[in-house]
Amino acid sequence: MPYAKIIGSGGYLPPRVVSNDQLAADLATRQIETSDTWIVERTGIRQRHIADEGVMSSHLATEAARLALEDAGVTAADIDLIIVATSTPDFVFPSTACLVQANLGAKGGAAFDVQAVCSGFVYALTTADAFIQAGRAKTALVIGAEVFSGILDWNDRGTCVLFGDGAGAVVIQASAEPGIIGAQLNADGSQTKILCAAGNVSRGKVTGDPFLRMDGQAVFKLAVNCLAKSAHEVCEQAGIALTDVDWLVPHQANIRIINFLGRKLHIPEEKVVVTVDSHANTSAASVPLAFDVARRDGRIKTGDTVMMQGVGGGFTWGSVLVKM
């Protein structure tokens, strides 16, 4: 069976940057109190990118995909599978993946969305890996794309300061050489309420609550424990030690979660990729965006072993181990 190898990556952030101070000033006009100090101390976030009105996940996904295709040296015609991980699709249907396929001018092959919130990218990458291993696809685009600004309650300071918009993409291709060497996915549907956007479009109106709601402390505790366990399990599955991991690319939600995780796994800070300070939490886009940053700045190199980890609503979590 062939391996699936990452042959290119790309990331795209909408150009509008909103600093903590700008956000605090905006919230203050509605008598909502927050500060750069609180946000930085509790989360490590300093700024986020916010899409302008009318800019949707498919637009960000398409830009990231174009950069990934260029980086991989392949064209849209080579792509026979597109998976977009998103919880903020443009429409109820068609899928965001189909919109991206049309934007790229790609023809044929499967295109569909995966919905696993902040774990979406590791779910999508694992799915694409399975297609390639089974011989059902040869060259796949795997994208995480979100416009979370559209589902935030901008009057809830406990959530609206945490998220940003963006998209990250990778191209994976069938190869005889090791690429994705392990994957481990999990869900616990009994924990749906700690992180959800429990709204729907039905009979011509929005029913339920259209905004993201989170019990931050419950998510925090689960995230650290689940990711630590998943890291051990995926290494055991691949027959490697945690010390063999050159780069940890965790979901970028909170620097305190990332630091706790690193300490629990005895992975030194220098081996952990962090973008939460400048991107905030971009949900399914956070892992591929961070991966792309570390590839392009030369940290992640050919031959390195990379562990990507996602965690979020559902409750869902998982890890993918990649040999570059």
Nearest approach, Cβ of residue 156 and ligand UT7 (Å): 8
Half-sphere exposure of residue 185: CA atoms within 13 angstroms, side-chain side:
14
By CB under 6 A, residue 94 contacts ligand UT7: no
Alpha carbons 127 and 310: distance in angstroms, whole number = 14
Looking at this protein, which amino acid is placed at residue 120? G
Binding part of the chain for ligand UT7, among 35-43, 101-109, 205-213, 266-274 by CB under 6 A, reads 35-43
Print the binding letters for residues 289-318 with ligand UT7: x by CB under 6 A, - otherwise.
-----------------------x------
Beta bridge mates, 147:
165
Query: Is 42 one of the binding residues for ligand UT7 (CB under 6 A)?
Result: yes
Q: Exposure of 292 by Cβ count < 10 A (0-12 exposed, 13-18 middle, 19+ buried)?
A: buried
User: What values do phi and psi take at 230, rounded to 5?
Assistant: -65, -35
Q: Is residue 220 involved in binding ligand UT7 (CB under 6 A)? A: yes
Query: Considering only residues 95, 281, 282, 305, which one is a binding residue for ligand UT7 as defined by CB under 6 A?
Result: 281
Active site residues: 118, 251, 281
Work out whether 86 is an interface residue with ligand UT7 (CB under 6 A): no
Reduced to 3 states (helix: H, G, I; strand: E, B; else coil), residue 148 is helix
158 makes contact with ligand UT7 (CB under 6 A):
yes
Cα 242 to Cα 121: distance, rounded to the nearest angstrom: 22
The single residue among 116, 145, 161, 285 that binds ligand UT7, judged by CB under 6 A, is: 161
Q: Binding of ligand UT7 at residue 157 (CB under 6 A)?
A: yes
Q: Which residues contact 203 (CB under 8 A, 6 or more apart)?
A: none
Give, rounded to a whole angstrom, the gap between the first and last alpha carbons of the chain.
18
Cβ neighbourhood burial of 46 (10 Å; 0-12, 13-18, 19+): middle
Does 118 contact ligand UT7 by CB under 6 A? yes
With binding defined as CB under 6 A, does residue 257 bind ligand UT7?
yes
Which of 56, 253, 261, 273: binder of ligand UT7 (CB under 6 A)? Answer: 253
Cβ–Cβ under 8 Å, residues 154 and 200: no
238 or 253: whose CB is closer to ligand UT7?
253
**Binding region for ligand UT7 (CB under 6 A):** 34, 38, 42-43, 118, 157-158, 161, 195, 216-217, 219-220, 223, 253-254, 257, 281, 312
